[in-house]
Amino acid sequence: MSFQRKILITGGAGFIGSHVVRLFVNKYPQYLIVNLDKLTYAGNLENLKDVEHSSNYHFIKGDIVDESFVLKLFNEHRFDSVIHLAAESHVDRSIVSPTDFIFTNIVGTVNLLNAARKIWDKGNLSNNDLKSVEREKKNSVPYRFYHISTDEVYGSLNETGHFTESTPYDPRSPYSASKAAADHLVRAYAHTYKLPVVITNCSNNYGPYQFPEKLIPLAINNIKNNVPVPVYGKGENVRDWLWVEDHAAAIDLVFHEGRTGATYNIGGFNEWKNLDVIRLLCKIMDEKLGLEVGKSEQLITFVKDRAGHDMRYAIDSSKISKELGWKPSLTFEEGLSKTVDWYLANEEWLQHVTSGANHKYNQQQYHHRKQHVR
């Protein structure tokens, strides 16, 4: 079967990546979707069970840090576009072991940029490839390197203001610094080599398939198991939460309609203090588990703050709304309720991902923080 496009999605077995893969595989049977993922602790093929047998889906296990592997892959598959999500994504882990973040988030991104540049640069194409470039032009299939990034590159806000696309970069954790470096490199390749790139910077996502080390799934899992829910510092830090399927829908829109070279911020206009998020979750969990009102809140435990904890993130997403007509589809209450339902219905998934070394990592972190309570 010949496909209209051949799209490489990196990190497709992770949280957001799995939603993007599912959306593209189901919505675009005319595209071949190749999912490249190393399957780290955060990547899990169970996230994609419902699409794994689709004829327009192909999974490849591999590491974007491996330069020769990446080059070979591009040479073999001649992707016309890349949607790059693979990353080390957890701030707390970046504080404990920053080097992994430098390799995957920076070196891995550069390897992908180099490989795309190599096969898309007309100077490097054989006659046959040139014919296919002409064909692609006629069918208006543009090359596209779409880099998925975070609002954390902009730093931390006080009580007022929002991040816009022109806010200067001010990353403050090893995670956000590594993502900022990758963003700069993507823009540098666009400027220097005319690589057709697009970047989006999104706020905190939540929803099904998120590894239970991030705040919302961790709290759900802990309440479910009747163990303490750690709140860093006073719980006053603010995040702007977005339902993951709304992010995937924005990625679809930007991939197809975003201007080449542009950056778009994506956020929910949905700011919450951490403690308020946890309290709302506790209320929902009391209801869903049939517990007496206030029972789950008893699990809230204040622990030592995160080092260098960013105070507030808030995204101004008016550019993507005005230019591309994107807007979030769910309220936070609706999204959290759906998220809790999903985690309660997917006991087996939770068991699998929390078994072994990664669960131990979370427990060690908790005990360490608890000993150093403020």
Where in the sequence numbering do the catalytic residues fall?
151-152, 175
15 binds, among ligand NAD, ligand TYD, none (CB under 5 to 8 A by kind): ligand NAD
Q: Decide: is 16 part of the binding site for ligand NAD (CB under 6 A).
A: yes
Residue 153 as a binder of ligand TYD (CB under 6 A): the answer is: no
Q: Minimum distance between the CB of residue 126 and ligand TYD, rounded to whole angstroms?
A: 44
Site residues for ligand TYD, 288-317, by CB under 6 A, read 306
Torsion of the alpha carbons at 82, 86, 87 and 90, rounded to the nearest 10: 130
Q: Find the helix or strand (DSSP H, E) in which 204 lies.
A: strand 204-206
d(CA 197, CA 260): 6
Residue of the chain from 13, 91, 195, 198 that contacts ligand TYD (CB under 6 A)? 91
User: Which tokens hold the place of 259?
Assistant: 């201007």
Buried b (16+ CB within 10 A) or exposed e, 60-82: eebbbbeeebbeebbeebebbbb
Q: Which residues in 176-192 are b (16+ Cβ under 10 Å) and which e?
A: bbbbbbbbebbbebbee
204 counts as binding ligand TYD under rule CB under 6 A: yes
200 to 239, contacts with ligand NAD by CB under 6 A?
202, 204-205, 211
| Residue recorded with tokens 């599912």 | 22
Rg (CA), the chain: 21
Which residues, numbered 250-269, are part of the site for ligand NAD (CB under 6 A)?
Answer: none
Regarding 105 and contact with ligand TYD (CB under 6 A), the answer is no
Residue 274 interacts with which of ligand NAD, ligand TYD, none, CB < 5 to 8 Å by class: ligand TYD
Task: Name the β-bridge partners of 8.
Answer: 34, 82
How many angstroms from the chain centroid is the CA of residue 13? 11
91 binds, among ligand TYD, ligand NAD, none (CB under 5 to 8 A by kind): ligand TYD
Q: What, of ligand TYD, ligand NAD, none, does residue 104 touch, CB below 5 to 8 Å by kind?
A: ligand NAD
- Nearest distance from residue 21's CB to ligand NAD, in Å? 10
Output the smallest distance, CB 306 to ligand TYD, in A.
6
Residues that bind ligand TYD (CB under 6 A): 91, 204, 214-215, 218, 230-232, 237, 239, 274, 306
